[in-house]
Chains A and B, each alone.
Chain A
Amino acid sequence: MRVPWFSKGFTRSISCPILDDQVEDGQEIARTKSPPPFYNAFEFISSMSSGFDLSNLFENKRKSGSLFTSKCSGSTIMATLETVAKTFNFRVVWSKGYKLKMEGESEGRKGKLAVTAEVYEVAPEVAVVEFSKAAGDTLEYKKFCEEDARPALKDIVWSWQGENNCQS
């Protein structure tokens, strides 16, 4: 298979995990018929660039990314996200097309943490996944992204927003 891209210093294998059908058949069929919605270049630039992100002027810590790129297919990403949800005892509230919402089972400081994830396509085989907090405490959300989701998603993540910017 001709690979049109590579990451600098990339050494691990390129293959994406092949997952068993863990989604409803209806969804799986719908996803294979149409790709994720297009993520246009301006969207890509404004979300991924740290240069355009002035919140770094105010925050002392490196901001935790809630956006990553992936070279896996939209349906693989969705299936992986659903698996991650179950791993951390999140209930998938709904999953439609390339969007899903998951809700934690335990009550956090501000109620149950709810997270939405949306998959977009920048180019064939280049996807962008955006997390956002739908409900609950922001610190718990950040902790979930950084400590739980990040390691669990490493097999499908190509690059996290804001990475590779700290080299001197």
Chain B
Amino acid sequence: MGCFSSKKTKYTPGYEEPTVLASETSFSVSEVEALYELFKKLSRSIIDDGLIHKEEFQFALFRNRNKKNLFVDRIFDLFDIKRNGVVDFGEFVRSLSIFHPDAPVSEKIAFAFKLYDLRQTGFIERDELKEMVVALLHESDLILSEDYVETIVDKTYTDADTKGDGRIDQEEWKEFVLKNPSLIKNMTLPYLKDITLAFPSFVLNSEVPDSEV
């Protein structure tokens, strides 16, 4: 069984019970417990306060705390459900749940839409798409002429904006994804199914531990 610490376990701020989180997400109780191990590791990497700050998220994804990236900003903002600038354990699990292989496709489609809707207007506007293409080229250190960027955006828009009103709404996005399912392949992390193997809980318990009031 291994060592068991006898001091009272202190949970991170915003901690929610694994049973509660499991009932509301695609994760099992032991998967939530495994995610807690990952969460603790990520949330103490730069600021040891039990919360994931944007820098820590950047560090986890790029091994570089200072790397500013439009896409990381978007993901972080969506994970930060309470909009208070940090991601706590509850928010972490609920957001990651959408990436679980068993999560409903409709949730993945909706999340991807919100990711690309940079200014949260409820539509993916042409200039938002262009901004993302430019950001991607910058991230990959590739330079394409303005004409080529316009061509890429135009062709994509022609395919997606079926109503021809100059912006992509949720309905058009959903149809577009159903025609091109690989568009949401980054919305599924197969790794989440094996998370208990990667992050075994050090405390084997069959009952829920006492939580701090």
Interface of A with B (CB < 8 Å)?
4-8, 38, 40-59, 62, 69, 122-124, 126, 158-159, 163-168
Residue-by-residue, is B169-213 near A (CB-CB < 8 Å gives 1, otherwise 0)?
000000010001011111001010001001000000000000000
Is the CB–CB distance between B143 and A50 below 8 Å?
no
Expressed in whole angstroms, the minimum distance between the Cβ of A142 and any Cβ of chain B is: 15
Output the residue of A41, A48, A166, A167 with the most chain B CB within 10 A: A41
| B141 neighbours in A (Cβ, 8 Å) | 7-8, 159, 163-164
| B129 neighbours in A (Cβ, 8 Å) | 41-42
| B191 neighbours in A (Cβ, 8 Å) | 55, 58-59
Contact of B60 among A4, A7, A57, A167 (CB under 8 A): A57
Is B29 an interface residue, CB under 8 A from the partner?
Answer: no
| B160 neighbours in A (Cβ, 8 Å) | 40, 42
Is B120 an interface residue, CB under 8 A from the partner?
Answer: no
CA distance A106 to B82 in the complex (A): 54
Contact of B140 among A43, A48, A124, A166 (CB under 8 A): A48
Interface of B with A (CB < 8 Å)?
38, 42, 60-64, 66-67, 69-72, 74-75, 96, 99, 112, 115-116, 129, 132-133, 136, 139-145, 147-148, 151-153, 155-156, 159-160, 176, 180, 182-186, 189, 191, 195, 198
Is the CB–CB distance between B148 and A51 below 8 Å?
no
| A42 neighbours in B (Cβ, 8 Å) | 116, 129, 156, 160, 176, 183
Is the CB–CB distance between A165 and B148 below 8 Å?
no
Q: A38-B159, A44-B136 are in contact. List 10 more A-B contacts (CB 8 A).
A: A5-B142, A38-B155, A41-B129, A41-B133, A45-B136, A46-B186, A47-B185, A51-B75, A59-B191, A166-B63
Contact of A167 among B64, B96, B99, B180 (CB under 8 A): B64
| B136 neighbours in A (Cβ, 8 Å) | 44-45, 48-49
Q: Lowest 7 CB-CB distances: which A-B pairs, in order?
A: A51-B71, A41-B156, A40-B156, A164-B141, A51-B72, A4-B145, A51-B69
Contact of B144 among A5, A53, A57, A167 (CB under 8 A): A5
Is the CB–CB distance between A53 and B143 below 8 Å?
no
| A41 neighbours in B (Cβ, 8 Å) | 129, 132-133, 152-153, 155-156
Q: A49-B136, A55-B189 are in contact. Are A166 and B64 (CB under 8 A)?
A: yes
Is the CB–CB distance between B140 and A164 below 8 Å?
yes
Expressed in whole angstroms, the minimum distance between the Cβ of B148 and any Cβ of chain A is: 5
Interchain Cβ contacts under 8 Å between A and B, 22 examples: A5-B142, A38-B155, A40-B155, A41-B155, A42-B156, A46-B112, A46-B183, A46-B186, A48-B140, A49-B69, A51-B71, A51-B139, A53-B186, A54-B96, A57-B42, A58-B198, A124-B148, A124-B151, A164-B141, A166-B63, A166-B64, A168-B67
Residue in chain B with minimal CB distance to A62 = B63
